[in-house]
C-alpha cells in the first residue's frame, strides 16, 4: 500500500553538534536518537512509507539568540533540500523558521518556498511562551495565508516547570496539551478567521482536540470582536444546539496518526473528522521502538475500510501536496 509520512523528523549531525555546543542534548526529555538519511530510508521500508516529509522537531532552532536561530534554520532548510535532491522521489520538506524573530522568519520563508521549493512550514506550538495566535505572529500568519501554505503544527516544551518532582517526560503528557493550547489560541484570537487559506496539519491526532473539541469550539464565541453574528449564534445554539461555527474550524484541519495508537484513539479521530481529514504520521526517529505497533494498530483497526486507509495513507496528502503526485 502506498504511504506518505507527514511526521518524519530529521537530526542532521551538524544540527545535533550545534545544539550540543550550547548544552542541549535532548528533545522533550529524551536524548537525541542517532539519525542519517539512510536510517530514515530503512525505517520507511519497514513501515511501507514511500515518501517522508522531513521536519525539525522540538527544540527547534531558537536556543541562543537571533543570529544562532537564523543560521541554524538556514542550514536545516538547505540540508533538507539537498536530501530531496540526493534521494529523488523519497522525501518532501517542511521548512523551519527562526521564530520568534519575525523579520528573519519572513526572509527565511521566502527563501525556503521560492528558492528551495520546500513543501510547507513546520511551526512549534510556542516560542518563548508566546503561543501561535499571539499578535506578535500576525505578520507571519498573514504571509502564510497569502501564500496558502500548508502549516504543520508540532508541540514543544511549555515554559516553566509545574512540579519539579514530576519526572514524566513532556513528550508523554504535555505534548498533546501543547497542540491543544496552540490551536485553541489560534481560534480564540481570530487568527483562523483572518487567515482562512492556511491548511493546518496537527501532530499526534491533534493532541486532545477530538476529546475537547466541543469545549474548544466555545472559544469562537468568547470574544466580541471575533464571535459570529447574532443570527449565526442563534442558529448554532438554538437550532443546531451545538457550537458548529467553532467546530467547523477544527474539522477543516488535518490530524496525523503519529503515536496515536489503539482503536479508541483512532475511533475518536474518525468520529470527529472522518477519514478525509486524517493523514499518516510516524514520528520517526523518536518513535523507532514503537512505530511498528502504532502502524499495526492503524492497519488492524476495523473501523476503517480499504478506501478509508487509502485516503489516510496517501490520497489526502496528495490533495495537500499535489506536487508529490509526480
Q: Is the pLDDT of residue 164 over 70?
A: no
Where does 4-325 sit in CATH, by number? 3.20.20.140
Q: Is the pLDDT of residue 224 over 80?
A: no
Query: Highest-confidence range of 223-232, 257-266, 301-310, by mean pLDDT?
Result: 301-310
Average pLDDT (41-57) is 96
Of 25-29, 145-149, 322-326, the poorest mean pLDDT is in: 25-29
Task: Give the model's pLDDT for residue 11.
Answer: 97
Exposure letters 118-140 (e unless 16+ CB within 10 A, then b): bbbbbbbbbbeeebbbbeebbeb
> What is the pLDDT of the chain when averaged over all its residues?
93
Task: Give the model's pLDDT for residue 188.
Answer: 94
Domain ranges of the chain: 4-325
pLDDT tens column, 66-106: 999 999 999 999 999 999 999 999 999 999 999 999 999 99
Task: Give the model's pLDDT for residue 235.
Answer: 77
Contact 108, 99 (CB under 8 A): no
Of 4-13, 42-51, 172-181, 202-211, the poorest mean pLDDT is in: 172-181
Task: Give the model's pLDDT for residue 237.
Answer: 80
Q: Is the pLDDT of residue 264 over 70?
A: yes
Residue 11 vs residue 172, higher pLDDT: 11
Of 69-78, 158-167, 222-231, the poorest mean pLDDT is in: 158-167
Q: Is the pLDDT of residue 6 over 80?
A: yes
Helix (H) or strand (E) holding 4: strand 4-9
pLDDT tens column, 20-38: 999 999 888 788 999 999 9
- In sign, the C-alpha dihedral spanning 60, 64, 65, 69 is negative
Task: Give the model's pLDDT for residue 161.
Answer: 66
Task: Give the model's pLDDT for residue 36.
Answer: 96
Question: How far is residue 45's CA from residue 190's CA, in Å, rounded to a whole number?
Answer: 42
Give me the residues paired with residue 11 across strands: none
Average pLDDT (141-164) is 90
Q: Is the pLDDT of residue 222 over 90?
A: no
- What are φ and ψ of residue 106, in 5° steps? -65, -40
Amino acid at each position: 500500500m502506498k504511504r506518505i509520512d507527514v511526521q518524519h523528523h530529521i537530526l542532521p549531525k551538524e544540527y545535533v553538534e550545534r545544539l550540543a555546543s550550547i548544552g542541549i542534548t535532548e528533545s522533550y526529555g529524551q536524548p537525541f536518537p542517532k539519525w542519517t538519511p539512510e536510517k530514515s530510508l530503512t525505517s520507511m521500508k519497514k513501515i511501507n512509507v514511500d515518501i517522508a516529509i522531513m521536519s525539525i522537531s522540538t527544540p527547534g532552532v531558537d536556543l541562543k539568540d537571533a543570529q544562532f536561530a537564523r543560521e541554524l534554520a538556514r542550514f536545516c532548510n538547505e540540508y533538507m533540500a539537498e536530501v530531496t535532491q540526493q534521494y529523488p522521489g523519497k522525501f518532501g520538506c517542511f521548512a523551519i523558521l527562526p521564530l520568534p524573530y519575525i523579520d528573519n522568519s519572513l526572509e527565511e520563508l521566502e527563501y525556503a518556498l521560492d528558492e528551495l521549493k520546500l513543501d510547507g512550514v513546520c511551526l512549534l506550538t510556542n516560542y518563548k511562551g508566546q503561543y501561535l495566535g499571539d499578535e506578535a505572529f500576525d505578520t507571519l500568519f498573514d504571509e502564510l495565508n497569502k501564500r496558502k501554505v500548508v502549516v504543520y503544527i508540532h508541540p514543544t516544551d511549555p515554559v516553566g516547570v509545574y512540579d519539579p518532582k514530576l519526572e514524566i517526560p513532556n513528550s508523554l503528557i504535555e505534548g498533546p496539551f501543547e497542540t491543544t493550547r496552540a490551536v485553541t489560541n489560534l481560534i480564540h484570537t481570530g487568527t483562523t478567521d483572518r487567515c482562512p487559506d492556511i491548511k493546518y496539519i496537527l501532530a499526534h491526532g491533534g493532541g486532545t482536540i477530538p476529546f475537547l473539541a466541543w469545549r474548544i469550539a466555545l472559544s469562537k464565541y468568547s470574544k466580541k470582536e471575533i464571535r459570529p453574528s447574532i443570527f449565526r449564534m442563534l442558529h448554532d445554539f438554538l437550532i443546531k444546539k451545538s457550537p458548529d461555527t467553532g467546530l467547523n474550524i477544527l474539522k477543516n484541519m488535518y490530524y496525523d496518526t503519529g503515536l496515536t495508537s489503539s482503536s479508541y484513539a483512532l475511533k475518536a479521530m474518525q468520529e470527529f473528522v472522518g477519514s478525509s481529514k486524517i493523514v499518516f504520521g510516524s514520528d520517526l526517529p523518536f518513535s523507532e521502538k514503537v512505530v511498528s505497533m502504532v502502524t499495526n494498530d492503524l492497519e488492524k483497526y476495523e473501523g476503517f475500510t480499504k478506501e478509508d486507509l487509502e485516503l489516510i495513507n496517501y490520497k489526502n496528502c496528495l490533495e495537500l501536496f499535489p506536487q508529490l503526485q509526480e
